[in-house]
Amino acid sequence: MTSDAILLIEDEPHIRKFLKNALQADGYQVFEADSVARGLIEAASRVPQLCLLDLGLPDEDGMGFIQELRSWSAMPILVLSARDRESDKVNALNIGADDYLTKPFGIEELLARVRAQLRRSQPKSSGSRVEFGDVDIDLAKRMVRKAGQDVHLTKIEYRLLSVLLEHADQIMTHVQLLNAVWGPNHQEHEHYVRIYMANLRQKLEDQPTQPRYLLTEIGMGYRLCLGGVIGA
């Protein structure tokens, strides 16, 4: 199996070197870029499987890169951002980024996210059945079972769950979920999403207040983590 190629766009040389070392140690092939312009050229010429993007770049905002790239490629984009740009992160996710990591981040965390994104972008294995933890979902029959017991979901709960499944391991912002489940006329009803997520957790998580799969990304939205978080 050929190793996956990763495009790393970051203007700070120390971080770039450190990330490159870590990724190469994990067996990935790494291409580097230090600006949006350079990044677009690399993305087009090398055709990597994943892109790591820092939002604050010297020549242009990283948002421009996402918009440009999304017009012709569906490769996963993992955004690295400093913590004081909360709204940037939501915007980046809304216009097409798949995940984000806040600086400073642990290298193990980064590698786990990279693996998750790459796994997600591979062709879906057969299936109308999805499992996480002791939850078993039959998409064809629209059946949800937990620990062998049937779980009754309302129409909207099911729709919300299926949207999350479709974008598993990816952060879905409140706006994206509202659009996908309720349609575009409910932008001001962000609390709908929160209420239904709470309901889903009540029905599908062992400990709804400390979920392992239906995770909250504070200030961003939600992520269905098929592998389950460690340690919770």
Instruction: Give the residues lining the site for another protein (CB under 8 A).
Output: 83-84, 86-87, 104, 152, 154-157, 182, 189-192, 194-198, 201-202, 208-211, 215-219, 229-232
* Among 114, 135, 146, CA closest to 226: 135
Residue 56 has what DSSP assignment?
B
Residue number with CB closer to another protein (147 or 195): 195
126 vs 207, beta carbon nearer another protein: 207
Q: Which of 180, 173, 181 is nearest to 87 (CA)?
A: 173
To another protein, the closest distance from the beta carbon of 221 in angstroms equals: 11
State the nearest-atom distance from the C-beta of 1 to another protein, in Å. 33
| Nearest CB to another protein, comparing residues 69 and 214 | 214
Give the span between the Cα atoms of 205 and 61, in whole angstroms.
39
* Beta strand ranges found along 35-76 (DSSP E): 50-54
- Is the Cβ of residue 74 or residue 198 nearer to another protein in the bound state? 198
Of 60 and 217, CB closest to another protein: 217
Rounded least distance, CB 55 to another protein, Å: 16
DSSP summary character for residue 224 = E
In DSSP terms, 5 is beta-bridged to 29
Instruction: Please report how close the Cβ of residue 38 comes to another protein at its closest, in angstroms.
Output: 30
Q: How far is the CB of 219 from another protein (least distance, A)?
A: 5
The span from the CA of 106 to the CA of 48, in Å, is: 23
Which residue do the tokens 């709804």 mark? 208
- Paired strand residues for 176: none
Tokens of 160: 């919300």
